[in-house]
Amino acid sequence: MRFAKGHGTQNDFVILPDPDGRLDLAPGLVAALCDRHAGIGADGVLRVVRTKALGGALPDGAEEAEWFMDYRNADGSVAEMCGNGVRVFARYLAQAGLVAAPVFPVATRAGVRTVEMGADGAITVDMGAARVLGEGTAEIAGRPYRGLRVSVGNPHLACEVDGPIEALDLGRAPAVDPAVFPDGVNVELYRRDGADRLRMRVHERGSGETRSCGTGIVAVARAAAHASGREDGTWQVTVPGGELTVRLDGGRALLTGPAVVVAHGELDTAALG
């Protein structure tokens, strides 16, 4: 099986080219690929498949995009959207010569996202609306955190904290009320770091703590704007893996940051656990 490996601010992915939709991406295979000791190691998998090769019901408007990003978390679960993944996906498509224009649509389970390849190496994705759904809580290492529930196509709880976030223990999944989060949730802890600058850590549903999360970064920018009574603005968000920019503009969120493909190879699936 051919694969590539890439990352966006150190949120890393195994990329599986599958233009004709022949791969059976069972959860066990995804988990084995993402295993950092016995597999390639990654926070998730990006299957690169032609939209028209997908069976079953397509997300709204998906036909307008030639390529569909089939995203899976490291535990094999399916997620609606991945903000770092879609930039890595775009970088892969461009480098493989599978798209020609610098601006193109990518279909995802959360809908079609427009990607713009910058001349400076950064990639901007129109992430659509980041919707504030109300308040929520999570318990982390025995302490309760209040936050804002935000949908970026996938579910987030963005919790502002006062002190430093570096020492917080995100080694275990935050405890949340399943009645409030029936599909699970990605939990972000963020603090303000100057005017329009935020610092964030995240525990991702299905992947554990990661060094960056694009949808989470959009969620904290939306939560910070909401707390300041603002709708629009630009936020620089620092995560353990780097820095990204979010522009909230007229109800949509534009996410800009780097994305690279670092390796190509051949995988021996029979040797995977």
Ligand X SMILES: N[C@@H](CCC[C@H](N)C(=O)O)C(=O)O
Query: Which active-site residues does the annotation give?
Result: 82, 213
User: Which helix (H) or strand (E) element contains residue 271?
Assistant: none
Exactly one of 130, 198, 213, 248 binds ligand X (CB under 6 A); that residue is: 213
Exactly one of 39, 85, 105, 174 binds ligand X (CB under 6 A); that residue is: 85
Nearer to ligand X, 124 or 207 (CB): 207
The 19-58 site mask, x for binding ligand X (CB under 6 A), equals: -------------------------x--------------
Return the bridge partners of 233, or none: 248
Return the bridge partners of 156, or none: 150, 186
Question: Whose CA is closest to 121, among 104, 106, 102, 98?
Answer: 102
Question: Whose CA is closest to 111, among 128, 92, 90, 93?
Answer: 128
Q: How many residues bind ligand X (CB under 6 A)?
A: 18
Return the bridge partners of 271, or none: none
**Rounded CA Rg of the chain:** 18
Closest separation in Å from C-beta 85 to ligand X: 6
Other beta carbons within 10 angstroms of residue 28's beta carbon come to 11
The 142-161 site mask, x for binding ligand X (CB under 6 A), equals: ------------x-------
Residue 215 found at the interface with ligand X (CB under 6 A): yes
Closest separation in Å from C-beta 236 to ligand X: 17
> DSSP label at 64?
G
Return residues touching ligand X (CB under 6 A): 11, 44, 73, 79, 82-85, 154, 186, 204-207, 210, 213-215
